[in-house]
Structure 1
Amino acid sequence: MKISKHLNIGPAAMVAAAFIGPGTVVTASLAGARFGYALLWALLFAVIASVVLQEMAARLGVVTQRGLGENIRETFQQPLARFAAITLVASAILVGNAAYQGGNIAGASLGIRALAGNAGLPGWGFNPWAVVIALLAFVLLWSGSYRLIEKSLVALVGLMSLAFLATFAISRPDIGGFLQGLLVPRIPEGAALTVIALIGTTVVPYNLFLHSSSASQKWRDARELPLARGDLLFSIPLGGLISIAIVGTAAAAFFRHQLELQGAGDIAATMRPLFGDLATTLMGIGLFAAGISSALTAPLAAAYALCGILGLRPDLRSNAFRAIWVAVLVTGTGVAALELKPVKVIWFAQVANGLLLPVITAFLLWEMNTSRLGEYRNSPWQNLAGLLVLLVTVMLGGRSLMSAFGLL
């Protein structure tokens, strides 16, 4: 999608579509409902960190014409080191995708139900919307057309932007409290895991694989790096703005009115008496777009990452590539269709990804300093920014572990 001759939107919009899923809606909504605007700074940090890391991933893909998984496999030739690298990467991808995909499809279903006035099939113990959404995702992925998938995801990001930003405006947030939460870092009591979850829902390890692989397909020459960076600087901050708007909406709707929030479905239903039918409709549209976009990108990213790291051909039409995304999609569909409660699983995935992020960040930094990048290797300033992100994620990860085990 071309916004102008200077701005070519694509791979980074896919990344934004990936991290603005039901997991983001759940995590950001819970953060706003429980802590008001206090944790907005964590999302601002996450957006900056995401820009730093995704720029490296895109540069790696465009310059080497290979994804992060393929580059890691090429770097680690020694059998034991390669086995360790493959195990760590596969763990990060499988934990994230196994936990997310059911929530992605269930989240899209919640959006449809909100739009339909919670219409369902009582007594079935089965969610037919999950199958409909999964079939839609299946058709788009099976097409094997990168351009079709990219255009679909760009459109969904646009729809999400309109829905969630309009909902934020309707909720009439406290602008003073909003700005203070955005610019003054603090961690209220009991919020350490929520901080990790907010970072984990924005800087997702598998997005580094998705971005590097998709950028290598979109742009074939290092001279096109300015286009890749323009895409990045437009799409990632837009995705962050959506997350920030969701926190602000939940803070205005729940924290301000001292209402309890149990899950993503509650926010659409509770907005009706507070802000009217329009807010509920917009939230339903946003949830649907978030769910279907992530239901597309999670299997796609898993296939890119695992094919790359296992030395298989990362081709949209190859049997191995299709087998991986079909497995992820079918697993998620089963969880969502049987209505197994996804909120706790999604929460676990956010925390797990926040803890796994330092490992994948370290791999990326290693790759960005190898000789195969030539003049496009990281500069000292880029390495410093990457190391700062790595240090902060390690510190926050350590704090969350201590909190989880009752040591804080």
Structure 2
Amino acid sequence: MYRWLGSLGPGIITAALVFGPSKLTITSKLGALYGYSLLWIVVVAIFFMAIFTSMATRIGVATEQSLLGSVKQKWGKWASLLMGGGVFLVTTSFQAGNSIGVGIAIGELYHTSAVPWIIVFNLIGISLLFFRSFYPVLEKIMIALIFIMLISFVTTFFWAKPDFSQIAKGFTTPAIPEGSQLLIIAFVASCFSIVGALYQSYLIQERIRIRPEIKNEKTDSVTGIVLLGVMCSIVIICAAAILHPKGISVNSATDMAKALEPIFGSGASTLFLIGLFGAAFSSLIGNASVGGTLLGDALGYGSSFNVKAVRFLVATVMIVGASIAIKFGKLPLELIVFAQSVTIFIVPFIGTALYFVANDAKIMGVRVNGIFVKIFAGIGLLLIFVLALVNFKELFFNNPLFK
């Protein structure tokens, strides 16, 4: 049991960095607008996320070199630079949203401006980089934040008193309500996070670097992803039970907290804001770690958190995100468009690289993909390309900036 709990670290970190303020907003909107009817998409997104995360885990265990090292070996330096640089740009562009989420959550709790809290918690995030062993600290913080979120959302779940027959129907009867398509795409694209799955291979290798004796032990990457699905489901159910019957719309995660107060009192609102803080702060640290690590590896500095250049790049993501959050108070539309543009092109490339590296017996040895994973990861890869095409159409043909 102790060894199993210890093996959860990398999967928990991935779940924590994927479940950020934007995920909280999307899941709240799904439940508020469409009730329990879209719970089934959580199962679909989590299934494919689990497939790709377990694939990345095996890559991390099977190879001495990093994933970008394997990409460089197969396709050349240009491919690793494209992946590392692309991920750095995406994480830096979206980091402001995590800073804003932290600031608003604490600001709402204490009825103050978000700006001082944005500064404080980014400084705390940067200070963590000065620990001699950053990875164990990151693992402990992420596990703590996941449990803070779980306590917050599970308590809200029991307050909400949802309809369990409707929950069962939502999970087992796929339906696509009119007008829900774009929200479904946004949820699947954010929950089935290829960048999060990719980072799993780095987390595993960092863990093995610190404790080489665990290389041959089984690592549980799926439990963390299941927890991600549980949190997404709980928020959808809470919104379906509380907001949907009253016709209350949600445009941000704090709207959900504000809606809880008149119904259940200030305690419920406070508890949900604590959950929002956990989601935002975990993503703030995790997102920056992804961007800094991948760019450091692409530039030839390696991927270890012990390397000063990697820590500097992680801090750079935090500083840029905090600066944008303080200056604009929200993500500027132009920056969102830029980040989405890079994401559309880089995510299918990352998914393809993961798939073909994991299928390469020369690299993977006995941990090469089996038939089951090849088939369903192939379907997941097809889904990634479909999502990219839909997002391309929405971004460049239905976006007011391009009209």
TM-score, length-scaled by structure 2: 0.89
Q: SS at 1:103's partner residue? A: helix
Question: Relative to structure 1, is the Cα distance of residues 140 and 12 closer, same or farther in structure 2, using a 3 angstrom cutoff?
Answer: same
Partner of 2:11: 12
Higher mean alpha-carbon deviation, 360-369 vs 302-311, is at: 302-311
Q: State the distance in 2 between where 1:355 and 1:36 align.
A: 33
Which of 106, 110, 118 lines up with 2:104 in the alignment?
Answer: 110
Specify the alignment match of 2:115 in structure 1.
127
Stretch moving more, 364-373 or 352-361: 352-361
Q: Does 1:358 align with 2:353?
A: no
Question: What is the CA deviation profile of residues 237-275 of structure 1, one whole-angstrom value per residue up to 9, with x for unaligned ones?
Answer: 012101111112222222221012221221111110122
Deviations 1:95-126 (A, max 9, x none): 2x12321111211222213332xx114xxxx7
* Distance in 2 between residues matched to 1:18 and 1:115, nearest whole Å: 22
Cα deviation, residue 313, structure 1:
1.8
Alignment counterpart, residue 126 of structure 2, candidates 138, 158, 179: 138
> In the alignment, residue 115 of structure 2 is paired with which amino acid?
N
Distance 1:252 1:169, change over 3 A: same
Counterpart-to-counterpart distance in 2, 1:355 and 1:164: 34
Partner of 2:29: 30
Residue 94 of structure 1 aligns with which residue? 89
Separation (CA, whole Å) in 1 of partners of 2:227 and 2:157: 14
Contact preservation (8 Å) 1:164, 1:242: yes
Deviation, 1:296, is: 0.7
**Which residue in the other structure is 1:58 paired with?**
57
Structure-2 separation of matches of 1:346 and 1:264: 20
Q: Any idea what SS the aligned residue of 2:191 has? A: coil
**CA drift at 1:144:** 4.4
* CA distance, structure 2, for counterparts of residue 385 and residue 399 of structure 1: 21
Deviation of the 1:90 alpha carbon: 2.5
Measure the CA separation in 2 of the matches of 1:94 and 1:242.
28
* Aligned residue type for 1:387: G
C-alpha distance in 2 between matches for 1:400 and 1:32? 22
Between the aligned partners of 1:343 and 1:47, the Cα distance in structure 2 is 30
The 1-side partners of 2:192 and 2:129 are apart by 24
Change (3 A) 1:196 1:226: farther
Q: Which residue pairs with 2:192 in the alignment?
A: 203
1:267-324 deviation per Cα after TM superposition (whole angstroms, max 9, x unaligned): 1111101222222121011011111111110111112212223322222132321221
Q: Is the 8 A contact 2:53 2:197 kept in 1?
A: yes
Q: 2:252 corresponds to which residue?
A: 263
State the Cα distance separating 1:11 from its structure 2 match.
0.7
Letter in 2 for 1:134: N
Matched, 1:287 2:281: no
User: Aligned match of 1:276 in 265, 277, 280?
Assistant: 265
Counterpart check, 1:72 vs 2:67? no
Question: What displacement does 1:363 show?
Answer: 0.7
Cα deviations across residues 209-234 of structure 1 (Å, max 9, x unaligned)? 32111101223669745531x2x232
Letter paired with 1:90: G
The 3 A distance-change label for structure 1 pair 37 and 397 is farther
CA contact (8 A) 2:68 2:80 kept: no
**Residues 291-330 of structure 1: matches in 2 within 5 Å?**
291-330=280-319
1:99/1:345 contact within 8 Å kept? no
SS in 1 for 2:204: helix
SS in 2 for 1:201: helix
SS of residue matched to 2:151: helix
Contact between 2:189 and 2:387, CA under 8 Å: does it hold in 1?
A: no
- Once the two structures are TM-superposed, the CA of residue 88 in structure 1 deviates from its matched residue by 4.7
- Contact 1:53/1:386 (<8 A) preserved: yes
Gaps of 5+ in 2: none
Which residue pairs with 2:379 in the alignment?
388
The CA distance in 2 between the partners of 1:393 and 1:318, in whole Å, is 33
Residue 280 of structure 1 aligns with an amino acid whose one-letter code is: S
**Aligned sequence identity (%):** 27
Whether contact under 8 Å (1:198, 1:350) holds in the other structure is no
The alignment of Structure 1 onto Structure 2 pairs a total of residues equal to 392
What displacement does 1:206 show? Answer: 2.3
Superposition RMSD in Å: 2.6
User: In 1, distance between residues paired with 2:198 and 2:306?
Assistant: 18
1:341 aligns with 2:335: no
